[in-house]
């Protein structure tokens, strides 16, 4: 079922690529966009995790550099019967974390210096358990590929006017402008459809993996406040990657709230507290 959902999402993004290409360049534009989408799918499967880590200038660390953080991930991997992922640190004061990779055997987890600074050991364990939950559920491939393809759709729409002559742009200016607005919106809506349900699943599995749902609930409360106080500049520059993070890294605002790829924080925390009372 999960693989089918992944296939449907990728097919939807590929179709969206074709629609944007046709709107901008007719049949030739559609064929070109489809070829680009197929190429992007192939490239993203093998390289999208590295691309996302490079976007955020993530630095890989070992047990010598940060033994407590590395050892925590190692213990969570053991509890989940998962291969040890690569461990990264992002030098950014905004508190956040994400997981990426094409499968559990090629996974990576990353945490910002901001999150390492403000969370207690127990809260950090809850966060990293959440990320390992994404690895266990194999959310990481679809999340990372979606980031690449959604970003590509946005770029295709933004630069689509280059395919038209000045006269064509004048005659079709209204439709082109509409496409520039709708294509990124459609890609964002596809991201939302996948990300929100999977965040709840990763919260529940992470709570069980770390051993205490309240650790993650407390961490989410701090992260919501911290990420709003210190938005992540790199995420603002790459909004197609925001669904990868445990909390929305974008600055607060009407559009950020309307198109959030994350479920409401109050609901996430409430569900974690409910796990304790079962």
Q: Each residue of 203-252: pLDDT tens digit?
A: 999 999 999 999 999 999 999 999 989 989 998 888 778 888 999 898 76
The mean pLDDT value for 56-69 works out to 96
The mean pLDDT value for 76-82 works out to 96
Provide the pLDDT confidence category of residue 254 given band limits of 50, 70 and 90: very low
- What is the C-alpha to C-alpha distance for residues 44 and 57, in angstroms, rounded to an integer? 18
- What is the C-alpha to C-alpha distance for residues 44 and 51, in angstroms, rounded to an integer? 9
Between 191 and 23, name the one with better pLDDT. 23
Q: What's the pTM value of the predicted model, to 2 decimals?
A: 0.81
- The answer to whether the beta carbons of residues 154 and 183 sit under 8 Å apart is yes
* Catalytic status, residue 168: no
Contacts of 52-56 spanning 24+ positions with Cβ under 8 A:
52/98, 52/100, 52/144, 52/147, 52/148, 52/241, 52/244, 53/88, 53/100, 53/108, 53/110, 55/234, 55/238, 55/241, 56/90, 56/92, 56/110, 56/234
- What is the C-alpha to C-alpha distance for residues 85 and 101, in angstroms, rounded to an integer? 9
Between 261 and 215, name the one with better pLDDT. 215
- Which one of 60, 68, 131, 170 is the catalytic residue? 131
Predicted pLDDT of residue 167 = 45
The residue assigned the tokens 């019967």 is 81
Question: H/E element holding 217?
Answer: helix 213-229
Q: Which of 17, 246, 242, 251 lies closest to 115 in space, CA to CA?
A: 246
The tens digit of pLDDT for each residue in 88-100 reads 999 999 999 999 9
The tens digit of pLDDT for each residue in 98-142 reads 999 888 999 999 999 999 999 999 999 999 999 999 999 888 777
Helix 121-136, helix 173-210: angle, nearest 10: 120
The mean pLDDT value for 22-37 works out to 78
Look over the chain and give the mean of its residue pLDDT values, rounded to a whole number: 82
- Round the CA-based radius of gyration of the chain to a whole number and report it: 20
Predicted pLDDT of residue 158 = 60
- The answer to whether the beta carbons of residues 275 and 204 sit under 8 Å apart is yes
């Amino acid at each position: 079922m999960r693989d089918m959902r992944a296939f449907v999402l990728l097919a939807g993004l590929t179709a969206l690529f074709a629609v944007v290409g046709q709107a901008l360049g007719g049949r030739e534009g559609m064929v070109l966009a489809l070829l680009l989408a197929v190429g992007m799918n192939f490239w993203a499967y093998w390289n999208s995790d590295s691309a996302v880590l490079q976007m955020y200038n993530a630095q890989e660390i070992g047990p010598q550099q940060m033994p407590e953080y590395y050892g925590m991930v190692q213990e969570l991997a053991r509890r989940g019967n998962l291969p040890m992922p690569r461990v990264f640190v992002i030098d950014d004061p905004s508190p956040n974390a994400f997981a990426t990779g094409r499968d559990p055997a090629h996974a990576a987890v990353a945490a910002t210096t901001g999150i390492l600074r403000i969370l207690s050991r127990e809260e950090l364990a809850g966060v990293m358990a959440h990320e390992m939950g994404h690895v266990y559920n194999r959310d990481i491939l679809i999340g990372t590929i979606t980031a690449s393809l959604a970003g590509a759709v946005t770029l295709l729409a933004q630069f689509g006017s280059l395919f038209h002559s000045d006269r064509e742009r004048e005659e079709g200016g209204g439709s082109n402008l509409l496409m520039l607005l709708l294509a990124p919106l459609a890609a964002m809506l596809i991201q939302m459809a996948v990300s929100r349900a999977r965040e709840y699943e990763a919260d529940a599995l992470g709570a069980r993996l770390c051993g205490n749902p309240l650790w993650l609930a407390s961490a989410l409360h701090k992260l919501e406040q911290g990420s709003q106080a210190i938005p992540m500049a790199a995420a603002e520059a790459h909004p197609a990657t925001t669904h990868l993070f445990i909390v929305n890294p974008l600055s607060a605002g009407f559009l950020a709230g309307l198109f959030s790829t994350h479920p409401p924080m109050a609901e996430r925390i409430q569900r974690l507290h409910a796990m304790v009372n079962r």
